[in-house]
Structures are given as structure tokens and as C-alpha cells.
Amino acid sequence: MINDARPIGIFDSGVGGLTVVKEVINVLPKEDIVYFGDTARVPYGSKSKELVYKFSCQIIKFLKEKNVKAIIIACNTVSSNCCEDLQKQFPNIPIIEVLEPGVSSAIKSTNNRKIGVIGTEATIKSGKYEKKIKEKLLNCQVYSKACPLFVPLAEEGFLEENITLDIVKMYLRDFFKKDIDSLILGCTHYPLLKNSIKKVVGQNVNIVDPAFETALKMKEYLKKNHMDNNKGGKHKFYVSDKNDKFDFICSLVLKEIHIAEKVNIEKY
């Protein structure tokens, strides 16, 4: 049996992609993982498409230097704005994004065909979620909302504080009269605020986190291409700016302690 011991590369603008790492570990416990969080330049959601593309190219070059066998873009802003361009720029490495799995999950979960999408300004402005959902689900209604303050809340570790709940209510009140039954967390930071979001939208709304479906997609790809690893399970974390918050949230999400290493990503 062929055993491909090269790691899986995963990247995000900051701590949000750790929610994807968590699901990849659960689904693929024997795979090694190299994670990069661009903590020096977070958030991506308010930046131009050109700048996000530049940042992503730098990160992919770094991950390729780490000999990764495949890459997950654990960032909806990158997935919705640059994924196709990145796949063209780096044709020799498989790149999987989080948007398509999120769309598939939402279509499976909805009964009344009324779906909400929340994400960064760049993700919502791209219109990719709405376009993809309507391509696959006829006669549906999609309501989108940018929630730019959710990323800094997650980065600061303000997950269930009163101020977080107030901001969630402010953003999501537009959905109260839309009768949505599914809400896509269209940013990998947002699952960190899931408990606060659930309190606001109520128990009757399905919270769609694309991370699990993304992990399943990676598992399927590796198996199909005989690239899976049955002997690993080591995880390495890198950031573009070192602070204790990343290590704290990493331990909170993954339930194990990891110390991230700082990288000068600008040189790539």
C-alpha cells in the first residue's frame, strides 16, 4: 500500500481556519497538517481582491516549501474571490476551497428553500454563495449579510461575551422576518461564535459550518488519488505575527497545546 507522508497545507487570514483544522483532524486523524495563519494582515474581508490574491500566493509558496501534497483554502474571502486564479497559478498542487462544501451542506439542510449567508464584506460582495446556491437549488431565496466585526471578535477571543451577543443581534436582525431555516457561516472565523449566533437565530435555524464537508472532500480526494497517510498525525502551526492569542485560541479549538512559529511571509 502506498503511504503519502507529505502533510496537508491549510491556510487562513488568522485563527478562523483552525475550525477547519479541527474537522480535518477528526476526519483524517493520521494525516500530518501544516497550518498558516496570516495574523499580521488579518482581516482579509475588507481588502481588495488583488491584495488578497497576492497574500494567498505568498502563503501557497510557503506551504509548497513545506512539501505539502494538497492545500485547503480555509478562508471564504480567498475562496470566493481568488480560488480559480490560484488554481491556475499553481496547477501542480491540488487546492480545495470551503465555498462549494458550504453550498452543498446548505442545500442538504434546507426544507423551505430560504437560506441565509453571513460572511466578510469581500465574500458577500462577490455574490458567489448566492450564485452557486441558485444554480443548484431552483426556486430558492438567498439572503446575504456582511458581518465585518465578527472576525475581530473571534481574533480577540470574545466568543460569548455580552458585547458579542449584542453585535450578533445587530447584524442578524435582518434575518428575523425572512423565515430562513438554514444559515451558512460563510467565514471560517464564524464557527468560533456559533453559540452566540445560535442564541440569536434560535433552535429552528440550521447552522451550516462548511468545515466538516471540506474535510470530507479532502478525504475523498486523497483516497481517490492514493495520497492518504496512515502513519502520521503531527500538526505544525505558523503565523505571520506572533502573539499569545493565536496559541490560546488554538488550544481552545483543538483541545491541545500548540506553539505557533512566526514566519516572514513577505519574502515569498
Domain ranges of the chain: 8-97+212-267, 99-209
* Segments of 27-140 assigned E as strands: 33-37, 70-73, 95-97, 114-119
CA distances from 124 to 20, 170, 186 (A): 20, 17, 9
Confidence of residue 23 (pLDDT cuts 50, 70, 90): very high
Q: Is the predicted pLDDT of residue 1 greater than 60, yes or no?
A: no
Report the C-alpha gap between 173 and 215 in whole angstroms: 31
pLDDT, average across residues 164-188? 94
Q: Is the predicted pLDDT of residue 180 greater than 70, yes or no?
A: yes
pLDDT, average across residues 41-65? 96
Alpha-carbon Rg of the chain, whole angstroms? 18
Confidence of residue 6 (pLDDT cuts 50, 70, 90): very high
Confidence of residue 256 (pLDDT cuts 50, 70, 90): confident
Share of the chain above pLDDT 70, in %: 100
Confidence of residue 210 (pLDDT cuts 50, 70, 90): very high
Judging by beta carbons within 10 Å of its beta carbon (0-12, 13-18, 19+), is residue 267 exposed, middle or buried?
exposed
Do residues 28 and 217 make contact, with C-beta atoms less than 8 angstroms apart?
no
pLDDT, average across residues 122-141? 95
pLDDT, average across residues 217-224? 95
Q: May I ask the CATH architecture of the domain 8-97+212-267?
A: 3-Layer(aba) Sandwich (3.40)
Point out the residues that are catalytic: 75, 187
Other Cβ atoms within 10 Å of 132 Cβ, number = 19
Q: Which single residue is written with the C-alpha cell 502520521?
A: 232
Judging by beta carbons within 10 Å of its beta carbon (0-12, 13-18, 19+), is residue 163 exposed, middle or buried?
exposed
Q: Which amino acid is at 27?
A: V
Share of the chain above pLDDT 90, in %: 91
Could you tell me the fold of the domain covering 99-209? Rossmann fold (3.40.50)
Confidence of residue 123 (pLDDT cuts 50, 70, 90): very high
Confidence of residue 68 (pLDDT cuts 50, 70, 90): very high
Taking only the tens place, the pLDDT of each residue in 141-152 is 999 999 999 999
Q: Which of 21-30, 138-147, 188-197, 250-259 has the lowest mean pLDDT?
A: 250-259
pTM: 0.93
* Domain 8-97+212-267 matches domain 99-209 at the CATH topology level: yes
pLDDT, average across residues 230-244? 92
